[in-house]
Amino acid sequence: MTGQPAGHPAHGFSHDALLYDSPEQLVRIAVPFLLEGLAAGDAAIIAASPDTAAILSEAIDGDPRVHVVQRGDAYSARTATAITNFRRLAEEANASPGHWVRVIGELDFGRTEREWLEWQRYEAVINEALVGWSLWGLCVFDTARLPDPILDSAIRTHQHLVTGDGREVNGRFARPADYLRSLPVPDEPMQDSAPRFWAEDVTDFIGLRHAVAAELATVDAPRDLIEDFLLAVDEMTSNAVRHGLPPVSLRLWVGGDRMVCVIGDGGPGWDDPFAGYGPAHGDDLSRGGMGLWLARQLCDHVDIEQGPAGVTVRLTTRLR
């Protein structure tokens, strides 16, 4: 790529993908993206694995204008927090007024299909959640290492593809809402067994909290992890009581490696696949609407299902 790549974005958030099969191809395409941005007055950030960051840093001779951040500091462990992190990076980056913050990003999709799903959702969600932010993301995908489902999701969740021939509109890009609705809600095997605790018709919210806290107090896990999970359970139960319809129910399972809580109510739920990836009322936190957003930051997985009997929210946190 020489000069500005074809289809240089005019404003807002741009989300591009680079699928590469060798370090040489990565350097050949990604480095001009950074250097041309610096020449144009943009800020430049690398948020990638240590190996990828080292390859790119060496290729630009350690240019101090390119800010390398730890991948975990950018993406965090949970998707809602990662969105907040990138908004913060956009605010703090030293870009000239009216210019971009260019980010070469590389996700750690995890080891299991369950973990992959969470970040597949993220890649679709940020097409909406980061609209209006002056971020130009180039997400890099190692085709020699990543499994086919992740590579397929890369194609479907990025508006543009970048190759050695330039930047092109991606004809296989799926509308984010449609893509999110197409993703499955994974089965949870523990739900086939009797729950450790079950409240079938919640009427005493305070009593329920004490009962759930008593059950979790016996779990062998860090206290801050238990408290985070309990807060997420509180928030989702409160949402069901306030905004749903009776009966409100709660079921809790604790296994060897994870805690699972399913909160249900008889209401119609909501048809918003982006719900909970940011506060419902933006920066005005005084207006509420934070429950699902908090739950997504406090738990490893938040899964929502709707059916004729109502809506259920399943919270899962790994014991570590």
Nearest residue to 313 (alpha-carbon basis) of 292, 298, 283, 297: 292
In degrees rounded to 5, what are phi and psi of residue 72?
-65, -30
**How high is the pLDDT of residue 8?**
57
- Helix 23-40 and helix 50-59: axis angle, to 10°? 60
282 forms beta bridges with none
Domains within the chain, CATH numbers bracketed: 14-182 (3.40.50.300), 189-318 (3.30.565.10)
**Spatial distance between the Cα atoms of 103 and 315, rounded to a whole number of angstroms:** 31
> How do 43-47 and 66-68 pair as beta strands?
parallel
Q: Is the dihedral of CA 96, 158, 75, 272 positive or negative?
A: positive
Cβ atoms of 273 and 180 within 8 Å: the answer is yes
**Spatial distance between the Cα atoms of 315 and 303, rounded to a whole number of angstroms:** 7
> How do 310-318 and 66-68 pair as beta strands?
unpaired
Cα-based distances in Å from 82 to 71, 105, 111, 124 = 10, 12, 19, 13
pLDDT tens digits for range 244-253: 999 999 999 9
pLDDT tens digits for range 149-206: 999 999 999 999 999 999 999 999 999 999 999 999 999 999 999 999 999 999 898 9
In degrees rounded to 5, what are phi and psi of residue 154?
-60, -40
Taking 70 as the pLDDT cut, the residues of the chain under it are 1-11, 94-96, 280-289
- pTM for this model (two decimals): 0.90
**Spatial distance between the Cα atoms of 66 and 50, rounded to a whole number of angstroms:** 15
DSSP string, 104-148: EE-----SSHHHHHHHHHHHHHHHHHTTTS-EEEEEEEETTTS-H
**How high is the pLDDT of residue 203?**
87
**Spatial distance between the Cα atoms of 89 and 74, rounded to a whole number of angstroms:** 8
**How high is the pLDDT of residue 98?**
77
Nearest residue to 238 (alpha-carbon basis) of 227, 250, 256, 224: 250
104 forms beta bridges with 46, 138
Residue 207, SS3 per DSSP: helix
